[in-house]
Structure 1
């Protein structure tokens, strides 16, 4: 089977831009997708993608089209073992979600493939395999603390198995079926959150009498000691930025930091994590189990009579987050908000009946969201297991669907896998 360098498959590659944050002559509005936006865009969330103004003459060669791939070429995190080389496939449903042209950010590169030789999504799955296997790290160098992906070296050195197009498309069909189900689950979770955030704002934004938020929520409450032999541990990287569910955690002997239990909310208190929205709802522990996490978390817990999801939506609320950001203190780049300062906040007194109704709806939604996320983790594990096998040609493919003959009967034909 032919293995070809990516250079022979790419027909257009262009670095991204960043433009300016204001309207000036000769510039047009664009949406700029960063590597940090890949997961959100893949799940249908485009609101956090920056809108900028780019020089008009630079938009056309950078403008993203359906079938393009965006490749992260700078960034990564050596501390977390995360290399550059993450990628995003731009399917036909991505661009209509934006009201302006889309370009990649300056730390990304637009890559366009020759569809007569390679199915673009098949080439994308080759990049996913490169990243998940760790091969992307082979093309990195370090510059002033930032990892840089050597794109030219990658084009010549990274080889992709290129079977006939019909086989490529069958491989894509298997992998995209898993990805599409993951995406559907993520979109349902996003819809739940948007509806409940709107309800929370209506519940707490009616004006009138207000109470200290500490009447409803405890900040860094006392929590039982974790098992000294080992306990679940959540680091800052695992805290989501847009949705409640925490997708990953590890186990380790407790060594200080924050303590929490099911029903608690974790709020990042340090810059830029607070500004970026890092917040998560804890629902993955065993009953009465205590977990630990980063010392840069503030733990929020509902007081008696308050739904456990209430602190989570408080932490997501723009009014509260703005208050917390304004209360940050410390040296540039290492600013934090203390739990005491974050708790110095007043909130409109929620009507008890409406609060109870909100709790019922939020509880049912969060139970469904947790089930969807459990399914997502299983699907992701399956996809990441079969991906390298399919790309290497080691995993047999399902037989192609039989064609219909002119009289309407099925023609079984033959298969290269028989």
Structure 2
């Protein structure tokens, strides 16, 4: 079976840009996709992708087209064991979701493949196999604390099995079926949260005045200690900036940190995580199980008579987060907010009937979203187990 270096199948590769944050003569507005945006773009969220002004003459050669692949070439996270080399396939639904031309950020590269030799999505799955297997780390070097993907070395050293086109397309059909279902689940989760967020915002319209937030929410509440032999542990990387769920955690012997249980909300209290909107809803634990997490979390829990999801949507509220950000203190780059200062926030008191109705709908929706995310984890694990078998040819599709 033919194995080719990527240099033989890549027909175009170009680094991205960052432009400027304000309008300048000779510059046009663009959307700039970073490596950190890959997951959100896959799930249909484009609002967090930065909009910048790029020099007009540089847009056309960098502009992303359908069937391109965006490859992260700088960044990564040694602390989390995350190398560079993450990739995003630009399917038919990606670009129409943007209001401006799309270019990759300066830490990424747009890669285009020869469609006469390789199905572009098949080549993308080769890149994904490279990343998940850890081979992407073989092409890294360190420069001033930043990991850099050695693209030229990768082009010559990384080999892709290139079977006949009909076999490539059969493999793509199988793997894409998983990806498409995962994407549908993610989009349902995102849309459902947006609807509930709009309903939460509307509760303030029926307000009967304001009370201190502590009348409705407990901050860092008392929680039974975790199992001394080991308990689930959540780090900051597991918190999303746009959806509630926690999809990655580890187990470790408790060594302090925050404590929480199902139904609690985690709010990042340190810069830049708080400004970026990192928050999460805890729903993955066993009944009565206590988990631990980063010391940089504020744990929020609804008081009796308040919907359990109320603190989560409060954590997503721009006014509440703005209050928390203004209360941050500390040295530049390491500022934090204390729970006691967050508790000074005044919250509108909703109409009791509407608040109860919101709670019923949120309960039903979050139960459904929890089930969807559990299904997604199974789909991802199955796809990632099939990926190396199909790409290597060890598993043959008739």
Partner of 1:410: none
Q: How much has 1:205 moved relative to structure 2? A: 4.7
Partner of 1:137: 137
Q: How much has 1:154 moved relative to structure 2? A: 0.5
Q: SS state of the match for residue 17, structure 1?
A: coil
Matched, 1:296 2:293: no
Q: SS state of the match for residue 255, structure 2?
A: coil
Q: SS state of the match for residue 148, structure 1?
A: strand
Q: For 1:252-281, what per-residue CA distance to the aligned partner results, in whole angstroms no more than 9, with x for missing partners?
A: 111000000110000111111111221110
Q: For 1:84-137, what per-residue CA distance to the aligned partner results, in whole angstroms no more than 9, with x for missing partners?
A: 000000001100000110000000000000100000000000000000000000
Give me the whole-angstrom Cα distance separating, in 1, the residues matched to 2:140 and 2:236.
Answer: 24
Q: How much has 1:396 moved relative to structure 2? A: 2.1
Q: For 1:352-383, what per-residue CA distance to the aligned partner results, in whole angstroms no more than 9, with x for missing partners?
A: 10000000000000000000000000000000
**Number of residue pairs matched by the alignment:** 398
Q: How much has 1:204 moved relative to structure 2? A: 2.4
Q: SS state of the match for residue 286, structure 1?
A: coil
Partner of 2:45: 45
Q: SS state of the match for residue 79, structure 1?
A: helix
Partner of 1:119: 119
Q: SS state of the match for residue 131, structure 1?
A: helix
Partner of 2:181: 181
Give me the whole-angstrom Cα distance separating, in 2, the residues matched to 1:228 and 1:279.
Answer: 26
Q: Residues 70-109 of structure 1 correspond to what in structure 2 (within 5 A)? A: 70-109=70-109
Q: For 1:52-79, what per-residue CA distance to the aligned partner results, in whole angstroms no more than 9, with x for missing partners?
A: 0000000000000000000000000001
Give me the whole-angstrom Cα distance separating, in 2, the residues matched to 1:231 and 1:259.
Answer: 10
Partner of 2:59: 59
Structure 1 runs not aligned, ≥5 long: 400-418
- Asked if 1 retains the 8 angstrom alpha-carbon contact of 2:208 and 2:351, the reply is no
Matched, 1:287 2:278: no
Q: How much has 1:42 moved relative to structure 2? A: 0.4
Structure 2 runs not aligned, ≥5 long: none
Give me the whole-angstrom Cα distance separating, in 1, the residues matched to 2:85 and 2:275.
Answer: 25
Q: SS state of the match for residue 80, structure 2?
A: coil
- Of 323-332 and 105-114, more deviation after overlay is shown by 323-332
Give me the whole-angstrom Cα distance separating, in 2, the residues matched to 1:30 and 1:343.
Answer: 39
Q: SS state of the match for residue 308, structure 2?
A: coil
Under a length normalisation based on structure 1, what TM-score does the superposition of the two structures give?
0.94
Q: SS state of the match for residue 25, structure 2?
A: coil
Q: How much has 1:208 moved relative to structure 2? A: 5.6
Partner of 1:413: none
Q: Residues 19-418 of structure 1 correspond to what in structure 2 (within 5 A)? A: 19-206=19-206, 209-397=209-397, 399=398
Q: How much has 1:384 moved relative to structure 2? A: 0.4
RMSD over equivalenced CA pairs, Å: 0.8
